[in-house]
Amino acid sequence: MPRLPKSPATNATPVAAPAAGPPTWQRALRKPRFLILLAAPLAIAAAVTSFRHISPILVSRPEYRIHPAEVTLPPAPAWIPRNLAEQVFNSSGLGTHLSLLDPTVSERVAAAFHSHPWIERVVSVQKRWPSRIVVDAVYRQPVAMVRGIDGFYPIDHSGILLPARDFSDTDVQQFPVIEQVTSNPLGRLGEPWGDPAVAAAAKLAEVLLQKADEQRNWWQLLNLAAIVVPRNVTLPDSAEELQFELRTKGGSRILWGRSPEARHPGEIDLTRKLQRLRELHSRFGNPDNQQDQWQIDIRSWQGVRRDILSSAPAKDSIKN
């Protein structure tokens, strides 16, 4: 009977399994990077909690307080009140002071200044250290005085009503006067007058304040006394139908026509009107240099018409 081969004897000893290391979370804790990442949120949370407790104390500290005197504004013309920042603080409910640490202070200051009638637009509000707020804003520019039964009403180029109390008698005489306005302001200070005749006359006044030569604007060059709005029982739906007249200090009349912004097909453009006035001035001087009073019509496409007025000289002086 055949013998099966015997299995070779083995003396190999089983290899022991490697000893188990520490868990993964324990190894991660030994790495500095992981510890930093773990500690950062905890530190931030602790800091936020601490700041919530001490913030009211810091906000009330005097070194963070902002008073009107610590507000810096752009250089302003003479008629802008020197205490504009104080007026804004009082009228807008900001109180007598703010805190530089208030996270809403920039927005609140911007909204407060925007509500003042002298501010056309707030460009930016910046917080500075030591405690100061810098406001970059665009002031409204007066272009005319509307003559009323009780005095003069200053307006800007859009017909926005401005504070009359901020103008001296000398200031009033620097601006074109708008006459024959039959309406009263419908809005408050810093809001539109509400009459299309006043709005259109304001645009004309803005043009007449532009430089005509090196030393004078058109208002001065033509020796003008008033912009006369048309008499209307009922104002037209569109200001483009309104016809304006310029009156000189000597009583002559210049028939101007529609507002400079009118796009009426029968109206000559602004450039041509000013060119005609310049040619007339070069040839005859201003209308008051002559003995007679003149009516000068610059509206026609065919050219300028000059007629002698039969009425007596008008004597007008601005009363403040």
The amino acid present at 112, given as its one-letter code, is A
Determine the topology of domain 142-308 in CATH: Rossmann fold (3.40.50)
The dihedrals phi and psi of 169, each to the nearest 5 degrees, come to: -60, -35
Please tell me the pTM assigned to this model: 0.76
* Rounded-to-integer distance, Cα 21 and Cα 27, Å: 9
CB 79 within 8 A of CB 171: yes
Q: How many CB atoms lie within 10 A of CB 258?
A: 20
CATH number of 63-139: 3.10.20
User: Which pair of structure tokens corresponds to residue 112?
Assistant: 């407060």
Domain residue extents for the chain? 63-139, 142-308
Per-residue pLDDT of the chain (320 residues; tens, 9 = 90+): 445 455 444 455 555 555 555 666 555 555 566 556 655 565 565 554 544 544 455 555 667 788 899 999 999 998 999 999 999 999 888 876 788 888 889 999 999 999 999 999 999 999 988 889 999 999 999 999 999 988 999 999 999 999 999 999 888 899 999 999 999 999 899 999 999 999 999 999 999 999 999 999 999 999 999 999 987 645 555 677 899 999 999 999 999 999 998 888 889 999 999 999 999 999 888 777 777 889 999 999 999 999 888 554 444 433 33
Q: Please, which residues have CB within 8 angstroms of residue 221's CB and are 6 or more apart in sequence?
A: 212, 213, 281, 286
Rounded Cα distance, 169 and 164, in Å: 10
Interior/surface letters 86-118, b for 16+ CB within 10 angstroms, e for the rest: ebbbeebebeeebbbbbeebbeebbebbeebbb
Residues in Cβ contact with 118 at an 8 Å cutoff, skipping those fewer than 6 apart:
80, 81, 84, 139, 140, 162, 163, 166, 190
